[in-house]
Structures are given as C-alpha cells and as structure tokens.
Structure 1
C-alpha cells in the first residue's frame, strides 16, 4: 500500500510548498482538491473548506494545469485523483473534472452523491444517483479515469452496504467506492472487514482519518445528547492497525489518503506524522 495526501488537509500551504513537504515526508501520491474559491473568502485565514490555498480552481486552464503536473514531477509524486464537490446529476461538471484528471494523469475522481436530511424520500434520491451513474460510467470509460462514490455521513451512502447497492450493477473498472471508515463513525458504521469483503473489486481507494464521540447537553426528554467530532488518526474510534491488517488480508494494494481534520498538527508536521505512523503500522503487519 502507498500513501497519498488529499490537499484539503494542507490549506495553508501553496501547491509548491505542499509538494515539497509531501516529498520530505515520504508521501507517494497527491489527491488535488478541485473547487472554486469565492472572492469574498480569499482574505480569510486558510481553512479546510473555505480559503484553501492548496486547491485547483475549477476555472483553471489547461495551460495553468502544467503547474500541477510540474509539482508532481519535481517531487516524485503521482497525481492519483482530482477530488471535487460534484452534485449528483451534473454530468457537464463531471466531464470537466474527468478532463482535468486525464490531463494530470490521475486514475480516479470522486463523483457526486445526494445528501440526505429527510426532506426528500430516499427512493427519489437513490433513483437520481442511479441515473447519474448511468451517465457517468461511459464518461469514465471514455477518459480512462475511474469514478468513485464515497462512504460519507449525511448522504445516501453513509455505509459500505449502501454504497455497494448503488455501484453493484456497474463495471468496477469504471465505477468504484472510496472507503472512509472515519466518516462511518459519524454515521453508517458496519464491520470494516465485512465491508471490504462486500466491495471486492469496487474497493478503489481509502481515506485515513478518525472520529470520536462525546456527551453534550441533556435533551428535553431527559436523555443524554451526544455529538461526533474529528480526532487525530490514531486517537479516535477507528482502530487503524486492524483496518490496515484487514485491507492487507483482502488483497488491497492501493493508496491510503490522509484526511486528518483534527487540527492538532500544522500541515508539514501532519504529513510527517501521518507517514511515520502509517508506515510503522504497515511494517508491523
């Protein structure tokens, strides 16, 4: 297994600074965050989801993409993914991301999945996603870039089984699943090894982060409230030694992408810590 960085977690570094830091930490691959940055947030302090300096803007031209190709080459890194925030059903934007991914030599992108908040029936959202993936699959084949849906809380795919239900009728050469155990602690927990076995060839990528739960205020009915929150990779509920052991057991040999949102470490330290911790676990199993 190889190590990658999703650049959402290095918001204060320029792409060049991130590339050098990833090289120094022994990281193998890059997942570029692909998102427009609103003009009114560009004076803000860098942050994961707003003024993120380590982001490819959606309006970037093909000529400007050469910058990101050069960063990867200069630091011995493989661009493995372009990771956007697509809406389910938006095939035009999906094709644009695939074009960028192909230009950068990436092997995969993340595609949209509907959010779920109870205001629309699940079956309606499921049908929307199915129709979307039917349009995505030929585009993935055309550009030679696999399209992944992520196990993510507050969507219709919080668990592996819900993601598998969506992708199982598609070709795993073109459609796959981004397996994110940290997200599944917030919502969608299933035995991680079981999920890997269920996915089989659809298991295309893994994100490494972690989550905890803590008590909050007592609810009006007197019951105890709880909330989830981000933890450092080795300090949350996910037992990453066991998960990596299970990934090895099922034959997974792809990338492990760091996505630590705990805020405990500054960006360069985060990459170094992630590499040291994860390589130590991999060496021990």
Structure 2
C-alpha cells in the first residue's frame, strides 16, 4: 500500500456530491472525506461557502436513503468514501454513535471525534481529564462499529500539536482511535518538528490534511507590530510540504493525504488538480531520496 490522495469536502463548497466526486476522480484522487453538519435555512439561501452553504455536506439527520446518495456519488466515480468529519462535542457519545453508524453505512473507515477547545476559561487539567474519559468511551464504540475515531490537531484546542494529541491518546488502542495530523493548522498554533511529531504519534498517526497558512504583520500607531495568521495557497504558505512528505515516507506512513485548501486561489475543480499534481511531484521526490 502507498500514500493515497483524497479531498475533505469542506474545501469544495460549490460542488454537489456528484460533481465533487467526478472532479476528484478527474484530478486523480482516490477518496472522499465527507463534511457532516447541519445547514440552516438561512445559509441555504446564501452563496456556497466553506462552513455555510456547503453543497457536498451530509446532513446530520440524513436518512439511509439520503446517505446512499453520497456512497453512490463516490462509487460511480470509482472513489472510496474514506471518512466522515462532523463537528462533535467532547463527551457527546450519542452524537458520535450516530456518525459511526453513518460511516459504517458508507463503508468509511474513520470519523472525526470531538475535541475540547481551550480559551483560558477552564484549566487545562479539567479539560484533559474529561477528554481522556471521552476518548476511552469513544474507543469502545469505535471498535464496536469497526470505524476509527480521530482527533485533528487544531489551533484553539487542547491538541494543537502532534505531541499534545499523542498525550491524549496514551494507552488507547491505535486501531480504535488516532490522530489526524494537520500541519496547516499548526502554523496558527502548535508547530513542532514534523518528523518528531510523527514519531511521537507512532501507530496513532491515522490521517493527514493538506493545506497551508502564513503570518502577516500590521504596524500599529505606537510602532508595535501585530501578527495575524491566515490561509495561504498550497505552495505559498509556511508549511514545507516537501519536508512533510519526506518525513511521512521516513516514518513509513501509508495512509491518506486529504486536501483541505481554504486559500480560494482556484475554483474547486482546478484546486483539486493543483493538489494532485503537487502531491504527486512531492511524493515522487521523497521516494527518490
């Protein structure tokens, strides 16, 4: 098995499931990770957007018949539904079980689990203990459904880095729960040596998201500088994706790399083509080292 390419549909908000699958297949991708969320009536009246009116989103109350549409869209294009990414809350096991059931129905291998945010209103120790209990209970559910639960390294949470995520999963079955490594998020918060983080995760390294981000500065009237982080093009941000792919190869990673580009540089079909071409280039280079 070798590294394969996929798309997380949050990044393609203007494409219906069938259009998304066809565009992904045409670009040379092999898998789809479906966004799973509730779209408000107000949002449906607006233009497509990443987190608003996203047209390739599985509704949280989708029936079996509705779920079948997403499975058919993927399979008709020769792709696999590899995962479902909901917006779960830490501790909500009932919601997690509903997503696990949907994932099993689609033949998907993983779902994204809930992760506590960190905003200075509660001490880390309390959040850590609650998260550990939730993950231990979620792992039981994941084994029951045969679907892995993953935590995404994300700024503004108690797992902004690979090492922080690894600490949360210590002692838990890597066949049941793992980590979705997102170097783009780690530009905002949580940066550390990529390979070291991968080595710390070990068998818990379950999935990778590909996007990029960069810091920009604004000078204030008093002469001080304010730095802000925002999304950047895949080739234009701070993440050195050549190094990331080389490090993935070095640790023997053979899973999926899924695009989650928020830069808006290209329309969705072209973004998928750019991602596939760039990753093929980088993977060939890392294999030749």
TM-score by length of 1: 0.98
Which deviations, in whole Å up to 9, do the C-alpha atoms of 1:55-105 show, x marking residues without a partner?
000011012111111111110101110010000000000000000000000
Q: Match of 2:231? A: 230
The root-mean-square deviation of aligned C-alpha atoms, in Å, is 1.0
User: Is 1:207 matched with 2:206?
Assistant: no
User: How many angstroms apart in 1 are the aligned matches of 2:71 and 2:217?
Assistant: 46
Q: Match of 2:269? A: 268
Q: Match of 1:49? A: 51
DSSP 3-state at the match of 1:271: helix
DSSP 3-state at the match of 1:181: coil
Q: Match of 2:284? A: 283
How many Å apart are 1:284 and its aligned residue?
A: 2.0
Could you list the structure 1 runs, at least 4 aligned residues long, displaced by more than 2 angstroms after superposition. 217-220
Q: Match of 2:176? A: 174
Q: How many residues align?
A: 284
Say which of 39, 42, 66 aligns to 1:40: 42
Q: Match of 1:83? A: 85
Gaps of 5+ in 1: none
User: How many angstroms apart in 1 are the aligned matches of 2:40 and 2:219?
Assistant: 35
User: How many angstroms apart in 2 are the aligned matches of 1:108 and 1:43?
Assistant: 31
User: How many angstroms apart in 2 are the aligned matches of 1:126 and 1:50?
Assistant: 30
DSSP 3-state at the match of 2:171: coil
Q: Match of 1:246? A: 247
How many Å apart are 1:219 and its aligned residue?
A: 7.6
User: How many angstroms apart in 2 are the aligned matches of 1:41 and 1:108?
Assistant: 27
Q: Match of 1:187? A: 189
Is the 2:37–2:87 Cα contact (8 Å) retained in structure 1?
yes
The within-5 A match list for 1:3-152 is 3-152=5-154
Which deviations, in whole Å up to 9, do the C-alpha atoms of 1:249-269 show, x marking residues without a partner?
100010000000001110011
Q: Match of 1:257? A: 258
Is the 2:18–2:74 Cα contact (8 Å) retained in structure 1?
no
TM-score by length of 2: 0.97
The within-5 A match list for 1:150-169 is 150-169=152-171
User: How many angstroms apart in 1 are the aligned matches of 2:221 and 2:60?
Assistant: 43
